[in-house]
Amino acid sequence: MSAQLHRRLSQSFVEEILEAFNDHRISEEKACELLGLQRARLYELRERWLQCLIGEKPFPLYGRRESGFHRLPGEEERWLHEELAFIQRRAVVYRGRFNFAVLAEEAEKAFGHPFQRATLRAFALRHGYYHARPEEKQKVFVRFETPGPGFLFQHDCSEHRWVPALDRSQHLILTKDDYSRLFVEAQLFEKQGSFEHLSVIRAAVERYGRPEAYYVDQHKIFRFVEHHGVHVRYHVGLDKAEVQFKRALRSIDIGLIYTAEASPESKGKVEKSFDYLQRRIPYLCERHNVRDLVEARKIVADVVGFYNEERVHLETEEVPRKRWDEAFKAGKGKFRPLDPSQNLDLVFSLHYERTVKYERTVKKDGTFSFQGKEYKLRHLAGTRVTIGLIPGRKLLVIRDGQRAAEFPL
């Protein structure tokens, strides 16, 4: 039974009993009963606990003997001690929450060769940093393969406390290629809105070209839904009113596919990706004392880069970038180039149209108002125009699908 002490009882519980016994607050008989140990084992355990206490060393419940087999080089051991000690003692949000997959990736970045999670886990056990040994569950995958890169982009946003030092949630918008599992775009924002999603789409299509379709859930940013007011129910039929996301994609001939209603898990690949990122980005932000979005975005870029370029995907058993590149070599790429004559500022600005209150009529004196300010546009006096807004940068005046004027903000 004594060899299984770390399985039966928590570290803090064992140390409390040993301290109480050592201070004569409980009897030898009671300590043996609480810990489930024989008398000789109790005194052996207390002696080891006292030595660790005096030497200011971790007290390991899991008494694995030190072995030269699979011993890590000194520099790597020192790095591991520092990382594990941070998680055990100095972390705030992630104190005691060991993720050996993340540690293995960080070790690979630091020393330039792969590390096995099991090796780091055994090291943590051997040195008393880690005590729980839960059984790992095999992952279950639903297999559906699209024909090549650019056939389908999965797109979603996760609200999470990505930067633990900040007392609020942030939003990570992610676009993932369904075939290769490559993260084609990942951006961290203070808030989620239509323009933030448009910015991520624009970055992706400017870099890679136009995919065949985007796959999104039923969020109101992607699709109009029924709205329940306090006294009355307002019903806007699905797809009867445009939203910014749909309009922008349609204007550059990209399809839009919605998940089944009340079934966001249909986008399993991107949902699993958020789980992967949530296990890494917040911990690394705390580990490196990140306190603002500028520094946090560097962490996001680093984690995304490692995932794309180094990590072997569990389902495809390939590195996403390698799978992407080999697909293009085999002629499987599905991207289409952007039309060079298309004004992307018009496409990816916020359009206020189709609802009368958002359309603007140029008055007879050649002025129009928008968000409390008046603008002069004499050559379009008396005509109806559409406003295209790029927040913080400029205001576009659109007539018949073309830019008619532009005002800096």
Q: How much is the pLDDT for 70?
A: 57
Q: Please name which of 77, 264, 241 lies closest in space to residue 155, comparing C-alpha atoms.
A: 264
**Phi, psi of 228, deg, nearest 5:** -100, 115
Query: How many percent of the chain have pLDDT more than 90?
Result: 34
Q: What separation in angstroms does the CA of 110 have from each of 75, 107, 113, 114, 121? A: 11, 5, 8, 10, 18
Query: What is d(CA 109, CA 165) in angstroms, rounded to the nearest whole number?
Result: 24
Question: What token pair was written down for 235?
Answer: 């019903």
Q: Please name which of 118, 10, 136 lies closest in space to residue 61, comparing C-alpha atoms.
A: 10
Residue 347 in contact with residue 220, Cβ under 8 Å?
A: no
346-393: pLDDT as tens digits: 999 988 753 323 345 555 566 777 777 887 777 777 777 788 889 889
Q: Which residues of 9-38 are buried (b: 16+ CB within 10 A; e: fewer)?
A: bebeebeebbeebeeeeeeeeebbebbebe
Q: Quote the pTM value.
A: 0.68
279-291: pLDDT as tens digits: 999 999 999 999 9
Q: Please name which of 14, 45, 42, 49 lies closest in space to residue 28, comparing C-alpha atoms.
A: 42
31 sits in the region (left: phi over 0; alpha: psi -120 to 50; else beta) called alpha
201-235: pLDDT as tens digits: 999 999 999 998 888 876 655 554 333 333 333 33
86-116: pLDDT as tens digits: 988 888 878 888 888 889 999 999 999 999 8
- CB-based burial of residue 70 (10 Å sphere; 0-12 exposed, 13-18 middle, 19+ buried)? exposed
Find the angle CA(346)-CA(348)-CA(352) to the nearest 5 degrees.
Answer: 75
Q: How much is the pLDDT for 269?
A: 61
Question: What token pair was written down for 371?
Answer: 């968000």
| 151 Cβ contact list (under 8 Å, min separation 6) | 178, 179, 211, 212, 213, 334
Which class is 153-329 in CATH? alpha beta
Distance of CA 276 to the CA centre of its chain: 7
